C-alpha cells in the first residue's frame, strides 16, 4: 500500500449521501484525489453527536462538517489503495504502536533498525527488572 499526507479534505454529496473527498500527496510528490471509506468518516464525524438518531440532515450542515473534516484529516499520514477503479485511504492503525516507559527515549524514534514492530512487548527494548 502506498502512503501519503492529506493536503486537503472536504465533505461532498454523492446523491443524498455524505462522501469525504481527500487530496493526498504521496511520498513521490504525486497528488491524488481519494475517498475516505465510511468507517473512517464515522471515526471523525460521530453521527450520534451531530445528528442524534435522525437519518436526515440539511444540506447546510456541510458547512458545519467542513472545518471538522479539515482539522481531523489535513496533515495526517494515510494509506492509499485502489479498488474497482477508485482510490481510497485510511488512517494508520494503532496495532503497530508499542508503548514504552517514559524514560525510554523519543517516541518518534520508532523501533531500532532491523527490529520491526510485532505483537507483544515493545521490540528491542530492555525491560527494567
| CA pair distance 41, 88, nearest whole angstrom | 12
- The predicted-structure confidence for 35-70, as pLDDT tens digits, reads as follows 999 999 999 999 999 999 999 999 999 999 999 999
C-alpha cell at position 37: 471509506
pLDDT-based confidence at residue 103 (cuts at 50, 70, 90)? confident
The mean pLDDT value for 82-86 works out to: 92
pTM: 0.73
15: left (phi over 0), alpha (psi -120 to 50) or beta: left
Full set of structural domains in the chain with CATH:
2-91 (2.40.50.840)
| Three-state helix/strand/coil letters over the chain | CEEEEEEEEEEEEECCEEEEEEEEEECCCCEEEEEECHHHHHHHCCHHHHCCCCCCCCHHHHHHHHHHHHHHHCCCEEEEEEECCEEEEEECCCCCCCCCCHHHCCHHHCCCCCCCCCCCCCCCCCCCC
Amino acid at each position: 500500500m502506498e502512503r501519503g499526507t492529506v493536503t486537503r479534505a472536504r465533505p461532498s454529496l454523492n446523491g443524498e449521501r455524505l462522501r469525504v473527498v481527500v487530496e493526498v500527496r504521496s511520498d513521490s510528490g504525486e497528488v491524488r484525489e481519494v475517498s475516505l471509506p465510511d468507517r473512517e468518516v464515522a471515526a471523525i464525524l460521530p453521527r450520534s453527536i451531530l445528528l442524534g438518531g435522525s437519518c436526515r440532515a440539511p444540506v447546510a450542515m456541510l458547512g458545519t462538517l467542513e472545518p471538522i473534516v479539515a482539522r481531523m484529516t489535513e496533515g495526517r499520514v494515510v494509506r492509499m489503495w485502489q479498488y474497482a477503479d477508485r482510490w481510497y485511504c485510511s488512517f494508520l492503525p494503532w496495532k503497530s504502536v508499542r508503548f514504552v516507559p517514559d524514560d525510554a527515549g523519543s517516541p518518534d524514534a520508532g523501533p531500532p533498525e532491523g527490529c520491526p514492530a510485532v505483537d507483544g512487548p515493545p521490540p528491542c527494548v530492555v525491560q527494567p527488572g
